[in-house]
Structure 1
Amino acid sequence: MEQEQRLVLLVTANNPQSQLFIDYLHQQLDCQVSVVAPTAEWKGMEASPTVVLLDADHIDEATMQQWHVRAAEADDMSLAAFNLRDEEHAVEILSAMNLQGVFYRSDALEMICKGLTILLEGNLWMSRSLMTRMIQFFRRQQLNSYRPVCGLTHRELEIIAMLGTGASNIEIADQLFVSEHTVKSHLYNIFRKIKVHNRLQAVNWARQNLGAPPPLVGRRQRDNPASIIPPPS
């Protein structure tokens, strides 16, 4: 694969600090490096593979979920997050969306470049301790999936999943082909059944009790399941 076909796309605020980071990646990585603002629309580029690097300091949860959907629909796109506070923060993000790479605020620039290179090769980049925690998390969710979930109906489960994407009542209604009033009625019943008072509490409850799908694996990694290279502990 030609080096110029590879792309690292930073989704972050364009400021002097981020520009220094971008310039450093340009110097160290044998690939294209581009940046897009969190609120800007990105139409894609003719590059493969692509690593999308989400800045946790400048991206809200709804925007992260939008990139999550784009990555799931793409053939050769890896999703990673940087500027995460610590492993607890990483677990919180990974319980709601699929990431192939995780970088912390304390990571050295050299380590970030090494991780991005690994991601461009189609491998995962996260610590063994984090992977162990997520395996245990998904095992618990798998066990929970065989148990009744507080009496929630299939439609209520659909709606609570959409809450996690940041969808509004109108957007949920449009996707489910029902009225906004029907969505509000479902939300009232959901809140009552799981004993929460607002959307944020419902999303947090869903993360703890329903979980998210296991991390997506790129095409090359499916061909080579052993290609999980964690960073040094």
Structure 2
Amino acid sequence: MLKLTLVLVTKLTIQSRAFADLLKTSLDCETRFISNEMELENLDRALNPLLLVDVANLPNIDDRCWQIQFDTNLSQVHIVLLNTSKKFDKQDLLDWPNCCGIFPQSSSLVLLLQGMRKILAGEYWLPRTMMCQLLQHYRKEDIHPEQPMVSLTRRECDVLRLVTECKSNIDIANALFVSEHTVKSHLYKVFKKTEVKNRTQAANWAKDNPSAFKKLQRYDNK
């Protein structure tokens, strides 16, 4: 079993502290908490951390902070999601790079501890419904490997490029000499065309489709 430090990303409550004590006792692991942006930014990689993110009780951490950390300090850190809702699907999974485990709100403590032991042993733990969704998704990709080109305008490409650099809407507006309202309008169109729900997924789309993104920029600059 890998010696990792379990880092709970959640609000500090009596329940979360009791849960941390249970994990420490049952799994023989050190436990720590992250409850704000500063603690997330200062996470010590030397601890060999495994992040346990309580999505139902997330502390007030800005989405851009998550994205910056995923690209830098957390780029190689594995993540386990706790208390996911019934609506959580494969598209939501794109928000969490390096996710190696998912435990829905309905998970019992017995099942959670069983899954955590598998994860600490280097395995993955996903709900059956999630595995079915992923299987169907990749089967469709195998059948239809050629995806239609997404038609983004030059300005939409500019906005998307700045999103991948973790720029805020105000930063993008200043960089492109447009209003914040215009940036929001371009972002809405980018989300719709790339079939994503938020800026983190849009940034992931650009990273997952580098050749397509470069082609879009090149074609539209002609």
What TM-score do the two structures reach when normalised by structure 1?
0.64
Distance 2:148 2:180 in 1: 25
Partner of 2:15: 17
CA RMSD for the aligned pairs?
4.1
Distance 1:140 1:163 in 2: 29
Amino acid at match of 2:113: C
Secondary structure, aligned partner of 1:51? strand
Q: 1:183 to 1:115 in 2, by over 3 A?
A: same
Partner of 1:206: 196
Partner of 2:214: none
Distance 1:62 1:145 in 2: 38
Partner of 1:148: 149
Partner of 2:218: none
Secondary structure, aligned partner of 2:8? strand
Pairing 1:125-204 to 2, within 5 Å after superposition? 125-137=125-137, 146-149=147-150, 151-153=151-153, 156-157=156-157, 159-160=159-160, 168-172=168-172, 178-179=175-176, 181=178, 185=182, 187-189=184-186, 191=188
- Give the deviation of 1:7 after TM superposition: 0.7
Q: 1:156 to 1:55 in 2, by over 3 A?
A: same
- Give the deviation of 1:8 after TM superposition: 0.7
Partner of 1:112: 112
Instruction: Please say if residues 2 and 121 of structure 2, whose CA atoms lie closer than 8 Å, have aligned partners that are also in contact.
Output: no
Unaligned runs of 5+ in 2: 206-222
Greater RCO, CA 8 A, separation 6+: 1
Distance 2:177 2:59 in 1: 25
Q: 1:211 to 1:39 in 2, by over 3 A?
A: closer
Amino acid at match of 1:30: D
Percent identity between the aligned chains?
A: 21
Instruction: Please say if residues 54 and 82 of structure 1, whose CA atoms lie closer than 8 Å, have aligned partners that are also in contact.
Output: yes
CA offsets 1:119-158 (integer angstroms, 9 cap, x no match) = 2333211034312302433666795973132x31365246
Unaligned runs of 5+ in 1: 195-200, 214-233
Q: 1:184 to 1:33 in 2, by over 3 A?
A: same
Amino acid at match of 1:78: H
Higher helix share: 2
CA offsets 1:52-103 (integer angstroms, 9 cap, x no match) = 01111122797466446535544752112111122x3143521433322101
Amino acid at match of 1:181: V
Distance 1:61 1:139 in 2: 38
Instruction: Please say if residues 156 and 187 of structure 2, whose CA atoms lie closer than 8 Å, have aligned partners that are also in contact.
Output: yes
How many residues end up aligned between the 2 structures? 198
Amino acid at match of 2:33: V
Partner of 2:30: 32
Distance 2:95 2:71 in 1: 14
Amino acid at match of 1:152: L
